[in-house]
Structure 1
Amino acid sequence: MTDLQVLDVPVRSAAARWATRVTSVVAAALNAWGPGGPSMMTAVVCTRDGQRVETPVFSGAATAYTQREVDLSLGLLSHFVRGSASPALLTQWWQEHQPSGVLHSHEREAVLEDWMSPLM
């Protein structure tokens, strides 16, 4: 693999994410609308022999990511591709912390910043 990109990442400000959540809760409570599935993104994998494979992937965020979270995530992916970091980092963190619920955006940003700090 020579490159890994993620396209169509849903990014919104904190205010826009909260407005979306509130609207979803109110609409669901009024039985006017049910929440849809997660947003779709596109992962693009480029190989040494010049192949480019695009595949749809689901977003893990309920509404969207912050721009900081996206920037940190893409930076970490680039370290994985270059070999300066290993995806085993994710498994190791999960085993050590075993979060009981979904992390909020500020918590995800803190974890990403922690992972990126030795790489900068």
Structure 2
Amino acid sequence: MVGLFWIDAENVHLGTPGATATAEVLLTPEVLRVTGPAAGQWPWGEVTALTVTGAPVRSAGVRWAGRAATVAAAALDLWMPGSPEMMTVAVGTRDGAHVEVLVPSGAATAYTRREVDLSHALLTRFVEGTSSPALPSRWWGTRDGTGQLRSREREAVLEEWLAAP
């Protein structure tokens, strides 16, 4: 996970894919595809808006306190995993369509405000045609795949993608 993006060998998702998701938003270099009840597919030239609202954002202190509480509860065998927070992905198209899709957040506890802002800036570049979801896909292909990135590392990757021509 980097920002609002969940990247795997085959796809770039907004939010978390998987069994708990009733819908998915997939980003490819050619199209934006929505699965589930509001299914559709649009070439990037037809997409006029792409936003994510409801992404859980918390300060570093609150995120660390939440992690510590989870570890303590798990150690005492009191922890019950919760459902991820839901985010709304809104898609606008040239033909006037407006589609809203609920997707699970990929953040274990929450995103940083900067991570969400950088993700929105990248989504804007995808819509404008000045960048492509091929960037996260290429990054995934060169990554060694070990370990989870910390928030500052995720922010640095997003900044790198935004700086790419």
TM-score interval for Structure 1 and Structure 2 normalised by the shorter chain: over 0.9
Q: Which amino acid aligns with 2:125?
A: H
**How far, CA to CA, are the matches of 1:35 and 1:25 in structure 2?**
11
Q: Which runs of 5+ in 2 are unaligned?
A: 1-46
**How far, CA to CA, are the matches of 2:90 and 2:68 in structure 1?**
33
Give the drift of 1:28.
2.0
Give the drift of 1:65.
0.4
Q: Which amino acid aligns with 2:127?
A: V
Q: Which runs of 5+ in 1 are unaligned?
A: none
- Comparing both structures, which one devotes a greater share of its residues to helix? 1
Report the TM-score when normalising by structure 1.
0.93
Contact 1:6-1:44 within 8 A present in 2 as well: yes
Count matched residues: 119
Equivalent residue, structure 1, for 2:137: 91
What is the aligned-residue identity percentage?
Answer: 57
Equivalent residue, structure 1, for 2:57: 11
Alignment of 1:104-119 (within 5 A): 104-118=150-164
Q: Which amino acid aligns with 1:46?
A: G
Are positions 1:102 and 2:148 aligned together?
A: yes
- Comparing both structures, which one devotes a greater share of its residues to strand? 2
Give the drift of 1:38.
1.9
Equivalent residue, structure 1, for 2:11: none
Alignment of 1:41-52 (within 5 A): 41-52=87-98
Structure 1 SS opposite 2:96: coil
- The ranges of structure 1 where at least 4 consecutive aligned residues each deviate by more than 4 angstroms after the TM superposition are none
